[in-house]
């Protein structure tokens, strides 16, 4: 009986991970110190091109007005050098916390 309960609990816990709700999966921008490019998406987020050439979208927790002018931007990555949802962006001295990082295509109207 205990074995059956444990198996049922394991299966129930696995369902959300397997369910495809169409939402983008969390990702990490590897080796953020070597990123290639970034583009603001207004004041709500930004597109980041990793050194691998892949694009990521970092959505911010709150609006970051100074992000839109592309002036003096710094990325605060994790100690391992990756950029993820626990990272932040400094835009002209304002700290803008990241809410999520997902894989993405190139930004709209992007021309390399």
State the Cα torsion 33-96-93-87 to the nearest 10°. Answer: -30
Q: What is the pLDDT of residues 26-36, one digit of tens each?
A: 888 889 888 88
Q: What is the pLDDT of residues 45-80, one digit of tens each?
A: 999 999 999 999 999 999 998 887 777 889 999 888
- Rounded to two decimals, the pTM is 0.75
Q: Is 47 helix (H, G, I), strand (E, B) or coil?
A: strand
Backbone angles phi, psi at 31, to 5 degrees: 45, 60
**pLDDT the model gives residue 17:** 41
């Amino acid at each position: 009986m205990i074995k059956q309960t444990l198996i049922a609990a394991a299966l129930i816990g696995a369902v959300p991970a397997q369910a495809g709700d169409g939402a983008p999966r969390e990702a990490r921008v590897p080796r953020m110190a070597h990123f290639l490019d970034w583009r603001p998406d207004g004041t709500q987020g930004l597109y980041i091109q990793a050194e691998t050439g892949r694009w990521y979208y970092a959505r911010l927790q709150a609006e970051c007005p100074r992000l839109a002018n592309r002036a003096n931007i710094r990325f605060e990555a994790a100690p391992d050098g990756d950029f993820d949802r626990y990272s932040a962006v400094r835009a002209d001295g304002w700290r803008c916390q990241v809410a999520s990082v997902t894989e993405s295509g190139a930004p709209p109207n992007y021309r390399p």
